[in-house]
Amino acid sequence: MKLTLIFHFWMLVFAFTATAQSTQYTIDNLPEKGLLLETGWKFKNGDDSSWANLNFDDTGWKDIDPSLPLHSLPQAQNSVSWLRLTFKVNDTLKGRPISICIEQFGASEIYLNGKKLYTFGTVSADANNEVGHNPQSLPVTLPLSDDNHQVLAIRYSAHSPALYNITTMLPMFNATLFLPQYGEKWYKRNIDSGFNQTIVTGLFLMLSILHLFLYLSHRKKSINLLFSIYAFTMAIAQFRGVFGATKPLMTEQFISSFLFNISAPFAGMVFLYAIYTYFGQRKKALFYILLVCCVLSSVHQFISGDPMKQLSTNLAVVLTLIEAARIGYIGMKKGIQGGTLFFAGQIASVITFLLLPVASIYSPWSFFYLFSYDVAFLIPPLLVSFILARDFGSTNKLLTQQLKDIEGLSAINLAQEQEKRLLLANQNTLLEQQVAARTAELQSSLEDLKQTQAQLIQSEKMASLGELTAGIAHEIQNPLNFVNNFSDVSIELLEEMGEELDKGDTEEVKAITADLKLNLEKIAHHGRRADSIVKGMLLHSRTSTGQKEPIDVNALADEYLRLAYHGLRAKDKSFNADLVTNFGESLPKVNAISQDLGRVLLNLFTNAFYATQQKSKQFTDGSYKPVVEVNTLQQDNSVQIIVRDNGTGIPDAIKDKILQPFFTTKPTGEGTGLGLSLSYDIVVKVHNGTINIESTEGEGCTFFINIPL
């Protein structure tokens, strides 16, 4: 004790003398725990590389203790600044490399005697360019010179957001000197603490999964869900020791600290709530007082920058453990299963937690401290898990016995039902055989019906193709006649041009050339017309791809109207009809399948011409004039196509049948009865449209088709 007092006395004398002279800090020896450099530092805001020089005069700089938290030193924030420590060592340390372990909040560059040795993070006057880095007491070599005079200079910046400052107790710059072997030992203890926290985190995760499975197995036991949430939240809180010990970036350390400050108080209250639930205790005022204490402790963790904030957290933890022990004692007095074991475990946890300050006297990273810390936090959840697992086992045992009783009763019922089952099995076998035979017959009939239906559909397509072919033959003849006529005229013009060339009449040759050009343009025009007719026929005969595309309804209706009309005239030269079209102007295109919609229009036009042809046979005096009218217009959000004729009309008795497959009013051999049925499927099922019919027998029929835009 006397030696200690003498040592401190001489240290004070030396400090006073050094301050009076050049503010030097003397290092006589380095203990195993290291020497924390707290005093003797000079500080100045600004950025000048000459401040790292050995002989720079820093007498006008401000004294500072950089080991204090950053937010308690506002002059060190949001700027680039420098720290200088002038010190000397005794002869035993001269010229020897020693280790320096650094913890900091910000970024720094380390200079010794004017030479830059290390960079931790990115120092910058711009907050956007700075990268904070905490070396986590990683020992690095500090090669001392042979001189008595040593200068340790630190170029430093800290632009971290304010929220970082209130969620951490990291120092501005904490430098500790070690002999190399002790520096590695100190750093290893820090890493070992992270490994220890990893194990504890894993245990809490395992407990969370265990209780979750117990809850899923028996959902009425909500206590298991509460303990699963508690264990998972504790795993998040303990993860701070894992994450913070291995991640040097300031952002990552902030995240781990933030998670701890949120999850630790929440975990404590969930644990206490679960204990109240398990032992059937009503939550009284004390519970809500502890809830407020935990919330205030969490808030204190955020807003407080003094060392007492850890004390407030520990006090909240101790009060929560004591309240849980009290509830366990009540459960023990009531004879609740597990109450005695839980009460004893809580008392042990409280005692262990109260002994943590004693354990930290030696070292906060000692095995005894870490073991006491883990025991204090692991005893309650482990005991609860054991108690709940035992309850689960007892419940399973009871259920197993009940299951055996049920199985005994079931065996009796099974014997009584055996004869009934045998009789039912025989009857089922016979019934299955009969059903199988009938099913085979129906399957065969269904296959035949499908083949017949496919053949009829193909016949309908071929019939419509025949109608198209006849119309196309008539349509294509006109452009071919034009091509032939203009070709003959062009030949004559060429002969005439030859004669004029022989005469030397160039003006006449030019005129003939102009006529030839005009003829060739007309030949090309009618050739393209014939080409479009052929392509239309190919599109109609081709199998539909099912790909919808924008369609001009007016052009499609006009084309198929003419083809249907000429197709019927090819069969009956005496038939004539008036074609009336009222196409809507600026009609938008519809998204439809061109081939399918063309088949619908062809069926409707063919039926209309057929109806007018049949009616014209009734009026041999020529008083009846067949008329087929086609109108298109936009109606709300759809395009409507109206096909109207003044033919025979549809009798009321068959209006409901004409859209049914295989129903036809034509004589045998002239129709398949699939035209309107296929048209209905294409409009309604493929294009989500509607098809409606208005008809008066003997006066005519009107079809209304709506295709959504």
pLDDT of residue 517: 80
In a domain, 566, yes or no: yes
pLDDT of residue 2: 33
In a domain, 160, yes or no: yes
Say yes or no: 695 and 656 in one domain.
Answer: yes
What letter represents residue 43's amino acid?
Answer: F
Query: Rounded to an integer, what distance in angstroms lies between the CA atom of residue 589 and that of residue 673?
Result: 31
In a domain, 188, yes or no: no
pLDDT of residue 3: 32
Domain boundary among 394, 419, 434: 394
For residue 521, give the nearest of 511, 509, 510, 513 by alpha carbon. 513
Say yes or no: 228 and 282 in one domain.
Answer: yes
In a domain, 291, yes or no: yes
Residue 624: give its domain's CATH number. 3.30.565.10
Domain boundary among 373, 394, 415: 394
In a domain, 424, yes or no: no
Domain boundary among 347, 377, 394: 394
Say yes or no: 137 and 203 in one domain.
Answer: no
Residues of the chain with pLDDT below 50 are 1-23, 162-168, 244-250, 305-309, 362-365, 540
Say yes or no: 134 and 206 in one domain.
Answer: no
pLDDT of residue 701: 92
Say yes or no: 221 and 155 in one domain.
Answer: no
What is the reported pTM?
A: 0.39
Say yes or no: 117 and 244 in one domain.
Answer: no
For 560, the domain range is 551-708
Sequence-separated contacts (24+) of 1-5 with Cβ below 8 Å: none
In a domain, 581, yes or no: yes
pLDDT of residue 539: 53
In a domain, 417, yes or no: no
Say yes or no: 162 and 278 in one domain.
Answer: no
pLDDT of residue 19: 37
Say yes or no: 157 and 234 in one domain.
Answer: no
Torsional sign, CA 292, 295, 301, 303: negative
Query: How many domains does the chain divide into?
Result: 3
**Cβ 14 vs Cβ 115: under 8 Å:** no
Say yes or no: 240 and 288 in one domain.
Answer: yes
In a domain, 451, yes or no: no
Query: Rounded to an integer, what distance in angstroms lies between the CA atom of residue 104 and that of residue 120?
Result: 9
Residue 41: give its domain's CATH number. 2.60.120.260
Residue 390: give its domain's CATH number. 1.20.1070
Say yes or no: 154 and 238 in one domain.
Answer: no
Beta strands in 283-403, from DSSP E residues, in sequence order? none
Say yes or no: 118 and 251 in one domain.
Answer: no
Query: Rounded to an integer, what distance in angstroms lies between the CA atom of residue 70 and that of residue 305?
Result: 9
Say yes or no: 152 and 289 in one domain.
Answer: no
DSSP at 238: H
Sheet holding 690-696, edge to edge: 578-582, 627-635, 638-645, 700-708, 690-696
For residue 293, give the nearest of 271, 308, 315, 274 by alpha carbon. 315
